[in-house]
């Protein structure tokens, strides 16, 4: 048979996912000779064999690729016939301008779980067991190409046993960079809050478990940072954790040992279960079941619980069921207030020793802190709330090639985004930029991503708000590096982010119902209840909620009672003495409020939908003061009577959406003692119907059917589901976020695409 040779180049997520061993075995089974190697832009293969064998080999690459691989393209080239000596995996080749995507961190696989609990296995109960199909990746990667010396495993030389597995192409650990065992790898130990190292290895885990069973608090070093843990079924412990962490009400995430336990706590569908058990293993936020033994203090005022499975071997060992051991643990990020999650041992000692009674430490350094991802389900599809571990740094694929740009992102829930070729690398969740440590982290992460993905931006996009930390960073950098700059309105960025996720051509005009908390408007007022029509070039503001004052600025955001009175004042609706927000504020505070609004002192105007939800929540007596973002709206949603179909009237006054009639009707309902559940449902239904009516008028004017639903308010699942089904019934195509969260985490994606698109056009 005549032999020929081919060069094959594969692009995509093909490193750190067992791709080379897969190719090795595939080549052998097709009687091919040649080699495979990682390059900085993917995987290169050269093979010789018969035409038939080469063709079936090629087809099999995409058909049976390893589960974690994502192949973007396979390019094949006929080359001169080569004589190879067998098939080999050869050394990586690095070219400074090439790049390849890096794999996210992956939850422990079934094979490793089996070995973990097999007394005959040499890694029996070893908390850092991993293989090519699972384990740490992005959090330990310092540079590319992804090889052990460029990870935080470089300080752990392999023992002969691990090395032989690592070098054996037929082994599951062939070229698994974090491969380790009890003889050569990282170890855990237990430390007291005073920093006294007491127990090692298995004994440390036992000590940690005892602490948890006793209702105490444990700081656990995990994959992307520290967690603070306690018994989630112990009301006193959870309440005490709230005091120590100074976190009065924001829900805590939970971890339970297996799916069966999680099923006993929240309502799950098969699709939800497959998300929970996926290699990404996010926290899943779902409606809580009644009568569970989870402490009420875990999620006060909330009808949902967020649960995840143990995603590392260490977590499995900590959570192992035993009589007297809690069935679920609170697993909240180990940090103070809005600071980033702690990921270094010494910082954890310094900052968490006042909260934790003990530490379960380990010596595998975390190069990059990464929070747990949070998802929920909408229409039985995964819906992101926070995108981090397991998902980042997987890029969003673009429908066309774009120039290299950086987008700086928003102030709250910050992410940044880098674009190159057909990829948008949206960063993992960075956090609240007003925090100095978060800001330092942000700068470091941008440098990291630019190096890892070999991106040198020639333009930079940022938010219109002149004082945002990210905006200041962007402007400073643009000046220093002589970059093109584009300033972008916040809600327009929301619209474009949603467009890009759905692969819509950037020339096509779509509409967006951008319902949000806060964003700087083109007219220097605060926007947030915006109806926009736009494409990748530009937008118009078609409608918006009638602006109301924010008396005292942030104070009005933190005290929905103030917001309720300001909304009534703006709509010229009198304050009844019996109203909950009137009673919640002292006569003095109300006096100041009126002065602020009448004289327009520190009372900027806002068209925010988030503030309208706050106002209604306070008006109904649900929430007067918040201790975490969106608390008033979350508690309002939790009350909804799903059988109630009624809704309130509203009007369009030119471009303004006038809610006076709805607010008056709510006050009527309150005076007639209509239940909170019914009023809450009617209010939610009002926003859904209003959305439909506005969509219809846009269709009449612009002929547009595609309606993007973006902005933090769309984290409200009742509202989202109601609006979606109303729109679909009238043959609209609602665009719902699926790759990035609807909140401000998606802003950088929109900014990046708008910037890249403008720069693309400037070049034409
Ligand atoms: Zn594994
Ligand atoms: Zn070893
Ligand atoms: Zn926003």
pLDDT digits (tens, 9 = 90+) for 643-668: 999 999 999 999 999 999 999 999 99
Spatial strand order of the sheet with 33-39 comes to 70-79, 3-13, 42-50, 33-39, 87-89
**Do 647 and 691 contact (CB within 8 A), yes or no?**
no
pLDDT band at residue 2, thresholds of 50, 70 and 90?
confident
In the numeric block, the tokens 């509409």 are attached to 511
pLDDT band at residue 18, thresholds of 50, 70 and 90?
confident
Tokens for 723? 């609006």
CA distances from 684 to 188, 562, 648 (A): 50, 21, 9
pLDDT band at residue 760, thresholds of 50, 70 and 90?
confident
As a whole number of angstroms, the distance between CA 650 and CA 666 comes to 12
CA of 137 to the centre of ligand 2 (A): 18
pLDDT exceeds 90 at position 289:
yes
Q: What global pTM score does this model have?
A: 0.94
CA of 163 to the centre of ligand 2 (A): 7
CA of 183 to the centre of ligand 2 (A): 5
Q: What is the pLDDT of residues 704-719, one digit of tens each?
A: 999 999 999 999 999 9
CA of 527 to the centre of ligand 3 (A): 9
CA of 490 to the centre of ligand 3 (A): 6
- Counting ligands in written order, the one closest to the CA of 490 is 3
φ/ψ of residue 54, rounded to 5:
-60, -40
CA of 618 to the centre of ligand 1 (A): 50
Could you tell me the sign of the dihedral formed by the alpha carbons of 608, 613, 619, 622, in that order?
A: negative
Please name which of 246, 241, 243, 220 lies closest in space to residue 231, comparing C-alpha atoms: 241
CA of 748 to the centre of ligand 3 (A): 10
Mean pLDDT for the stretch of residues 228-236: 98
As a whole number of angstroms, the distance between CA 122 and CA 83 comes to 41
Q: What is the pLDDT of residues 135-180, one digit of tens each?
A: 999 999 998 777 888 999 999 999 999 999 998 888 889 888 999 9
φ/ψ of residue 393, rounded to 5:
-100, 35
Please name which of 76, 56, 60, 57 lies closest in space to residue 11, comparing C-alpha atoms: 76
φ/ψ of residue 565, rounded to 5:
-70, -35
In the numeric block, the tokens 């009687």 are attached to 31
As a whole number of angstroms, the distance between CA 344 and CA 362 comes to 10
CA of 124 to the centre of ligand 2 (A): 13
The CA-CA-CA angle for residues 446, 451, 457, to 5°, reads 65
pLDDT value for 762: 65
- Counting ligands in written order, the one closest to the CA of 179 is 2
As a whole number of angstroms, the distance between CA 315 and CA 330 comes to 13
CA of 367 to the centre of ligand 2 (A): 22
pLDDT value for 98: 66
As a whole number of angstroms, the distance between CA 313 and CA 617 comes to 43
pLDDT value for 336: 86
Q: Three-class SS of residue 350?
A: helix
pLDDT value for 472: 96
CA of 413 to the centre of ligand 3 (A): 9
- Counting ligands in written order, the one closest to the CA of 68 is 1
pLDDT band at residue 70, thresholds of 50, 70 and 90?
confident
- Counting ligands in written order, the one closest to the CA of 515 is 3
pLDDT band at residue 15, thresholds of 50, 70 and 90?
confident
pLDDT band at residue 96, thresholds of 50, 70 and 90?
low
φ/ψ region of 514 (left if φ > 0, alpha if ψ in -120 to 50, else beta) reads beta
pLDDT value for 419: 97
- Between 736 and 37, where is the model more confident? 736
The rounded Cα 562 to chain-centroid distance in angstroms is: 31
**Do 171 and 179 contact (CB within 8 A), yes or no?**
no
- Counting ligands in written order, the one closest to the CA of 629 is 3
In the numeric block, the tokens 């607010």 are attached to 663
pLDDT exceeds 90 at position 103:
no
Report the DSSP beta bridge partners of residue 308.
Answer: 255
Please name which of 413, 603, 422 lies closest in space to residue 526, comparing C-alpha atoms: 603
In the numeric block, the tokens 């064998």 are attached to 53
Q: What is the pLDDT of residues 334-365, one digit of tens each?
A: 998 778 999 999 999 999 999 999 999 999 99
As a whole number of angstroms, the distance between CA 692 and CA 343 comes to 46
CA of 255 to the centre of ligand 1 (A): 20
CA of 491 to the centre of ligand 3 (A): 6
Q: What is the pLDDT of residues 523-573, one digit of tens each?
A: 999 999 999 999 999 999 999 999 999 999 999 999 999 999 999 999 999
**Do 547 and 537 contact (CB within 8 A), yes or no?**
no
CA of 19 to the centre of ligand 1 (A): 14
pLDDT band at residue 100, thresholds of 50, 70 and 90?
low
Q: Average pLDDT over the chain, rounded to whole? A: 95
pLDDT exceeds 70 at position 764:
no
As a whole number of angstroms, the distance between CA 665 and CA 77 comes to 71
Percentage of residues of the chain with pLDDT beyond 70: 98
**Do 104 and 16 contact (CB within 8 A), yes or no?**
no
Please name which of 603, 608, 607, 638 lies closest in space to residue 623, comparing C-alpha atoms: 638
pLDDT exceeds 70 at position 753:
yes
- Counting ligands in written order, the one closest to the CA of 163 is 2
CA of 362 to the centre of ligand 2 (A): 16
CA of 107 to the centre of ligand 1 (A): 8
CA of 395 to the centre of ligand 3 (A): 21
Measured from the Cβ of residue 189, the count of other Cβ atoms closer than 10 Å reads: 18
φ/ψ region of 500 (left if φ > 0, alpha if ψ in -120 to 50, else beta) reads alpha
pLDDT value for 14: 85
Omega into 145 within 30° of 0, i.e. cis? yes
Spell out which residues have Cβ within 5 A of ligand 2, the ion.
159, 162, 181, 183-184
CA of 452 to the centre of ligand 2 (A): 28
pLDDT exceeds 80 at position 74:
yes
Residue 22 exposed, middle or buried by CB count within 10 Å (0-12, 13-18, 19+): buried
Q: What is the DSSP string of 201-255?
A: HHHHHHHHHHHHHTT--EEEE-SSSEEEEEETT-HHHHHHHHHHHT-SSSPPEEE
CA of 209 to the centre of ligand 1 (A): 24
* Number of helices (H), then strands (E), in the chain: 23, 29
Omega into 393 within 30° of 0, i.e. cis? yes
CA of 121 to the centre of ligand 2 (A): 13
**Do 330 and 253 contact (CB within 8 A), yes or no?**
yes
CA of 631 to the centre of ligand 2 (A): 48
Q: What is the pLDDT of residues 470-486, one digit of tens each?
A: 999 999 999 999 999 99
């Amino acid at each position: 048979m005549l032999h020929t040779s081919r060069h094959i180049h594969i692009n995509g997520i093909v490193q750190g996912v067992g791709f080379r061993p897969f190719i090795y075995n595939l080549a052998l089974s097709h009687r091919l000779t040649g080699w495979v190697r990682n390059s900085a832009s993917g995987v290169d293969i050269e093979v010789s064999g018969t035409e038939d064998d080469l063709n079936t080999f090629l087809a099999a690459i995409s058909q049976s690729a390893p589960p974690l691989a994502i192949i973007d393209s396979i390019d094949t080239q006929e080359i001169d016939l080569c004589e190879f000596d067998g098939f080999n995996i050869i050394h990586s080749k690095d070219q400074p301008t090439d790049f390849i995507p890096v794999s996210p961190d992956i939850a422990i696989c079934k094979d490793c779980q089996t070995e973990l609990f097999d007394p005959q296995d040499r890694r029996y109960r070893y908390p850092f067991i991993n293989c090519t199909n699972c384990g740490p990746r992005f959090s330990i990667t310092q540079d590319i190409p992804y090889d052990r010396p460029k990870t935080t495993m470089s300080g752990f030389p392999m023992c002969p046993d691990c090395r032989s597995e690592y070098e054996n192409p037929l082994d599951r650990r062939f070229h698994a960079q974090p491969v380790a065992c009890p003889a050569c790898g990282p170890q855990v130990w237990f430390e007291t809050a005073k920093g006294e190292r007491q127990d090692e290895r298995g004994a440390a885990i036992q000590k940690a478990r005892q602490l948890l069973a006793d209702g105490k608090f444990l700081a656990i070093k995990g994959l992307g940072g520290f967690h603070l843990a306690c018994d989630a079924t112990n009301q006193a412990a959870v309440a005490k954790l709230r005091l120590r962490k100074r976190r009065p009400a924001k829900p805590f995430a939970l971890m339970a040992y297996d799916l069966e336990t999680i099923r006993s706590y929240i309502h799950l569908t098969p699709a939800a279960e497959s998300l929970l058990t996926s290699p990404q293993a996010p926290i899943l936020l779902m409606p809580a079941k009644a009568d569970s033994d989870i402490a009420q203090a875990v999620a006060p005022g909330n009808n949902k619980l967020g649960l995840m499975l143990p995603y590392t071997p260490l977590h499995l060992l900590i959570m192992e069921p035993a009589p007297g051991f809690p069935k679920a643990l609170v697993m909240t990020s180990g940090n103070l207030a809005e600071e980033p999650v702690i990921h270094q041992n010494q910082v954890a000692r310094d900052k968490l020793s006042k909260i934790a009674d003990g530490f379960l430490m380990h010596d595998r350094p975390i190069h990059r802190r990464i929070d747990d991802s949070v998802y929920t389900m909408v229409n039985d599809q995964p819906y992101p709330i926070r995108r981090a571990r397991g998902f980042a740094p997987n890029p969003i694929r673009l429908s066309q090639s774009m120039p290299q740009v950086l987008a700086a992102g928003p102030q709250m829930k910050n992410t940044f985004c880098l674009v190159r070729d057909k990829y948008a690398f949206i960063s993992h969740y960075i956090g609240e930029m007003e925090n100095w440590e978060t800001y330092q982290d942000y700068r470091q992460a941008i440098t990291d991503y630019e190096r890892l993905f070999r991106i040198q931006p020639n333009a930079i996009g940022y938010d219109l708000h002149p004082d945002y930390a990210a905006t200041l960073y962007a402007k400073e950098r643009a000046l220093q590096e002589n970059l093109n700059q584009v300033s972008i309105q916040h809600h327009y960025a929301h619209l474009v982010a949603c467009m890009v996720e759905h692969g819509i051509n950037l020339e096509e005009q779509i509409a967006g119902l951008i319902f949000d908390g806060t964003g700087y408007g083109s007219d220097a007022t605060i926007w947030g209840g915006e109806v926009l029509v736009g494409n990748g070039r530009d937008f118009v503001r078609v409608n918006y909620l009638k602006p109301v004052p924010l008396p005292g600025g942030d104070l009005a955001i933190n005290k929905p009672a103030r917001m309720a009175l300001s909304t009534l004042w703006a709509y010229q609706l009198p304050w009844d003495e019996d109203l909950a927000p009137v009673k919640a504020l002292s006569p003095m505070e109300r006096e100041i409020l009126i002065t602020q609004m009448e004289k327009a002192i520190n009372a900027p105007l806002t068209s925010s939908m988030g503030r309208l939800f706050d106002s209604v929540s306070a008006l109904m007596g649900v929430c007067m003061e918040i201790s975490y973002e969106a608390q008033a709206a979350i508690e309002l949603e939790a009350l909804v009577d799903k059988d109630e179909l009624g809704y309130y009237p509203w009007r369009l006054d030119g471009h303004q959406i006038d809610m006076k009639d709805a607010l008056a009707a709510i006050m009527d309902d309150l005076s007639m003692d209509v239940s909170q559940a019914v009023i809450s449902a009617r209010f939610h239904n009002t926003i859904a119907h209003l959305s439909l009516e506005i969509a219809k008028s846009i269709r009449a004017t612009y002929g547009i059917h595609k309606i993007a639903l973006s902005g933090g308010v769309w984290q409200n699942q009742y509202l989202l589901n109601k609006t979606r089904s109303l729109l679909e019934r009238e043959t609209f195509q609602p665009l719902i976020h699926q790759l990035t969260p609807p909140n401000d985490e998606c802003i950088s994606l929109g900014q990046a695409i708008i910037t890249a698109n403008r720069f693309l056009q400037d070049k034409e």
